[in-house]
Chain A
Amino acid sequence: MKTPGPQLAHQVEDIRERNTFEPRSQSLPTWCPGCGYFGILHAVNNALKQLKKPLHETMIVSGIGCAGRYPFFTNTYGLHAVHGRALPTATGVQMANPDLTVLAIGGDGDGLAIGGAHFPHSIRRDVNINYLLFDNSIYGLTKGQPSPSSPVGTRSKASPYGTVDQPLNATLMALTFGCGFIARLFAGDPTGITQALLQGIRHEGFSFFHILTTCVTFDKSYKTWANLKESVHPLPDTYDPTDYRRSFDEVLTNDFSTGIIFRRPGNGEQAR
C-alpha cells in the first residue's frame, strides 16, 4: 500500500503537531513493514497524550510474541513478561500501585491459548487494567502456526491438512465472563482505537480491547488487510452498548463489527 507523497507529508505534520511520537522510544519497532501493530502503537500513544497521562505513570505489561515486544517501543515503564502471563503480572502491578495506568498487551496465542486461564479470572477480579488483545489469528513470531482464533481449515506448516478445532471469539468470551468494558476494534482504524481507549482507560475495572489485526508476513488468506477492510464495519449508530443482552445478539451474529460492544452502565462511579 503506497501513500501518496503530499498525503504522507500531511500525516507527518499532524503527528508532529499532536506530539504523538513523544511516547515512542529510541528502539524502532521490529515488526514487519505493513504490520497492523504500527497503527495500534500510534493509537495508544495518541490516547495517552490526550489523557495527559505522564509516561512514568503508565506501565505496559506484555506477554510473548510479536505483540509482546510492544513495551520496548514506548518510553513508559514496561515489563515484557512471560508467555501468557501478562494479565496476572499486570494484576500485581496495578494492585501494588493503583495510581499507575496499566496496559496489558498480548496476542491471540498469548492470551487465548497459553494464557487462556487468566482471561476469565482477571475479568472476575475486575482489577483496573486495560487489556489489549492483538488478534491476527496466527503465531507470527514462531513463523505462522494456527492460533486459537484461526478458522477451521487453516492450512500452515503446522497444519498442512487444515485445522479442525473451532476458533475462539475473544469478544464473546469477554462478554460471557462479565467484563465491564468491551471494545472490538480494527488496527486499520487508529482513530477508533484511540476513541475506545479514551473511554476504556477511564473505566474503573477491567477493560478489554479486542483489536482485529493482520499478519502481513504469514497470513495470505484470512485476516489480510484486504479482507479486514472489506469485513470490518462500525456498529450502527443506534447500537446501545449498555444493553447486555443486545450485545450478545450483536456478537453472535457479527464477527467484524467494531466499536464499544459493551459498557457496564454506571461504571466508574463505584471504586473497588
Chain B
Amino acid sequence: MSRIDLTVEVCGLAGDGTIAAGGLINEAMSLGNYFVLGFDSYPAEIRGFGRCVTRSRIGDDEILALDDETHVLISLDDEQSISRVPYLAHDAVIIFDNKPPGYVEEARSLVAHLEAGARLYGIPLTDLATAAAGTPRGKNLTALGAFAGVYGASPELFRYVITKKFEPKGEKVLTANLKSFDAGYEYALAQFADHLVPTFYSSVEGIREDKVMLSGNLAIGFAALDADLKLYFGYPITPATPIMEFLAKKLPSQGGKVVQMEDEISSIAAVLGANHAGARAMTATSGPGFALMTELIGLGVMAEIPAVILNAQRGGPSTGLPTKTEQSDLHSAVYGGTGDSPRIVIAPTTVAECYTYTLKSFQYAEKYQTPVVVLTDFYLDNRVENVPKPIASPEDTERWNIAPDPAGKGSYLRFENTASGISPRSYPGQEGFNFTASGLEHTETGSPDYTPNIHMKMTAKRYRKIQSALTDLPRPEVFYDEDHLAVGVVGWGSSFGSILEAVKRAREKGLSVAALKVTSIYPYHAEEIRSFMVKCEDVLFPELNFSGQLANLMGHLSSRTPYRINEVTGVPLSPRMIFANIKKIIEAGTR
C-alpha cells in the first residue's frame, strides 16, 4: 500500500512568516488533489515574539485527525524548533537554515538536539533568499521551495498559490516571493539530488480547484450566508470572533447586518428579538460569553423563540485558556440556565459538518421554535480542511416555520398545546394573530399563569416539542458496525476524528472495535445509542474535558459502567493514546 500520509510542520518566531508558509503548503497540496488537515498554534500575545507552529497532515486518503508524529520539520528558527523535537518521527526530515543570520552557539542549535535518525537538509535559507530577492524576508518561501524540491511536489502548485496570495500586494512583492521560492527549489534539486524523497508525484497532474481550504469558522460563516442570515449580533471573543469578522464583510452585500453589541447578553437578546420578529439571526461566542447568555436562552425556551447560538469552546472555567481547545461546555450547552429548559444542542465533528449543521440549525430553530446551540471548539474552528465547495441544496434553505391557519384569525392560541408540542407561530406585523410572549409561565394564549396544571402541562409540551425534533436531527452513526464488538468508542465534536483514526488503527491490528459518532447531543437518539452499546463488551468515551460530560449524559444507556478518557491538555486528543487505551481495555478481558 503506497499510502501517502505526511505530517509537515513549519516552526518559527512570530514575524518569520511561519503561518503564511504553512497556509501555502495547505493550499498547494489541496490544489494537487491531496487531502489536507492543518492546525496552527501561535501566541495569544498580540505583539509577542512567541513561537509559531503550523501542522499540516497531507494524504491521499481522507484525513481524520492530526497525527501524533511529525515527518517533516521546516525550521525557520533554531531555538523555537528545538521545542518540536519530541514530536518528530525517528527518521524525520529536517529542512533548516544552515547559515542563519545570527550566530547560534552549537548547544542551542536545532541539529544538536535531534535524534540520530533524523535526515538533515541544511540549506542557507537566508542567504538564498537575499541573493534571489535582495531581502531575507522571503526565506520562508525558500524553505517551501526546498520542501517542494525534496518531496517532488510540482512547483507550479506553489507558484500558483504564491501568486494568488501576493499578487494583491503588487508586482515587486510577488516577484521577490516567487524568486525566493525558486531559489530554494533549485538549490534542493541540485544539492540533494541523491536524497530526494519524491512523494507527491501525482501533484504534477495539474491544478484541481474543486476543493476549497476552509476552517471550521469560515464554514460556519458560509453556512450563515447560505441560510439567508439577516442579522448577526455578537461580541468579540476568542475563538469565535473570525465568524463575526467574516460576516461583517460578507453580510451587507446580501442585505444583512452585523452589529457588534455591548456584551453577550445584549447579543442574544437582540438575536431573540430579531428571530421573534421573523428574521433569521444568530450569534457566536465562547464559554464565558455563553455563560452570560444562558438566562436569555431560557427566555427563548419559555417564549418559544428560535435562535442559533454558536459556542466555540475553549479551555475553562472562567477566562480559562482562551487559545486552547477543550470540550467542556457540553453540560453548559445542554443544561445552562434556569429551570427545565430543553433546547437543541448539536456538535459538528468536521469542517464539512460545521457547514452542514450550522445551515440546518436555522431550520431546526425555526421549526421547533427553540434556541439551537451549535457546539464547536478551538480545534475545529481553527483547523483547516480541504472540502468540496459547500453548496446549499434548495431543501436546506427552505423555511421551516409553521404558520397559523388563516381561519384562526382572532382566536389565535400562540402556545397551543398540540400533539407534537409545536404551536403554529405568527410574526409581529401579521394582522389578527397578535399575542404577547413572555418568560413567565403562561397559558396557551400566552397569558401568565402559575397554577400547577398549567406549569406541568406546558413544561411537558416544551419537552415533547424538543423530543419530536429527533426525527429531523442527525442520527448517531456507527463506523465498522458488527453484531458483536469488544469495544465501542463513543465520541463527539472535534475529537471524533482522533477516535475514528484510533479505531481504524485498532481494526487494522485485528481488534474488534467500532466507533459511534453522536452529533445530536440534545435531544439524543437514546434507543439507537443503547442498541449500539449492548453489542459492545465495553464502551469507551474519550473526551477533551475532565468530568466526562458526554459520558455523564449518555453513559447510563450502557449496561456497564463505561470507560472514560478525560484530558484537559489544551491540545486535541491523540489517536495513538486512544488506540493504546482500546488495546488496554481488550487485553484486560472481561471484567
Contact = CB atoms under 8 A, between A and B. Distances in A.
A27 B432 CA distance: 17
A56 B281 contact: no
Contacts, number: 137
A24 interface: no
8 contacts: A64-B439, A72-B436, A72-B447, A91-B273, A94-B277, A95-B279, A96-B278, A97-B279
A78 B436 CA distance: 4
Interface stretch (B295-303, B362-370, B542-550): B295-303
B447 A56 contact: no
Contact of B276 (A27, A75, A93, A117): A93
B436 A88 contact: no
B277 A81 contact: no
A117 B231 contact: no
Which 5 residue pairs across A and B have the least CB separation, nearest first? A92-B273, A78-B436, A96-B279, A88-B266, A92-B270
A260 interface: no
Interface residues of B, number: 44
A253 B274 CA distance: 40
Interface in A58-98: 59-61, 64, 71-72, 75-82, 85, 87-97
B18 to A, nearest CB: 39
Contact of A96 (B262, B281, B430): B281
A211 interface: no
Interface string A95-136: 111011000000000000000011001000100000000000
Contacts of A55: 434
A93 B439 contact: no
Contacts of A240: none
A100 B263 contact: no
Given A78-B437, A80-B440, A93-B277, A85 B269 contact: yes
A89 B203 CA distance: 53
B299 A82 contact: yes
Interface string B186-230: 000000000000000000000000000000000000000000001
Contacts of B273: 61, 79, 81, 88-94, 96
A268 interface: no
Nearest to B427: A97
Contacts of A97: 277-279, 427-429
B448 to A, nearest CB: 7
Given A56-B430, A97-B428, A118-B266, A92 B277 contact: yes
B270 A80 contact: no
B410 to A, nearest CB: 11
Interface in B205-263: 230-231, 233, 257, 259, 261-263
Nearest to B448: A72
Size band of the interface chain A makes with B:
35 or more
Nearest to A58: B428
B481 to A, nearest CB: 45
Given A88-B273, A97-B278, A121 B434 contact: no
A127 B298 CA distance: 25
A100 B428 contact: yes
- Tell me which of B261, B267, B275, B303 has the highest count of chain A C-beta atoms within 10 A of its own C-beta: B261
A92 B230 CA distance: 11
Given A72-B448, A118-B266, A56 B432 contact: yes
A88 B231 contact: no
A100 B273 CA distance: 12
B271 A54 contact: no
Given A97-B429, A121-B262, A82 B439 contact: yes
- Tell me which of A27, A80, A125 has the highest count of chain B C-beta atoms within 10 A of its own C-beta: A80
A264 to B, nearest CB: 22
A66 to B, nearest CB: 13
B257 A92 contact: no
A60 B275 CA distance: 15
A110 to B, nearest CB: 13
- Tell me which of B230, B281, B432, B437 has the highest count of chain A C-beta atoms within 10 A of its own C-beta: B437
B428 A88 contact: no
A72 B270 contact: no
Contact of B259 (A60, A75, A95): A95
B332 interface: no
Contacts of A91: 259, 266, 269-270, 273
A55 B270 CA distance: 22
Given A57-B428, A77-B436, A94-B277, 6 more contacts: A56-B432, A78-B436, A79-B437, A82-B295, A92-B233, A95-B257
Contacts of B397: none
B76 to A, nearest CB: 44
A92 B437 contact: no
Nearest to B435: A77
Given A92-B273, A92-B276, A95-B274, A85 B436 contact: no
B372 interface: no
B433 interface: yes
A184 to B, nearest CB: 25
Contacts of A93: 273-274, 276-277, 428
B515 to A, nearest CB: 41
B428 A56 contact: yes
A92 B436 contact: no
A64 B295 CA distance: 13
Contacts of A59: 277, 428
A75 B275 contact: no
B438 interface: yes
Contacts of A79: 273, 276, 303, 436-438
Contact of A81 (B231, B278, B299, B433): B299
A114 to B, nearest CB: 10
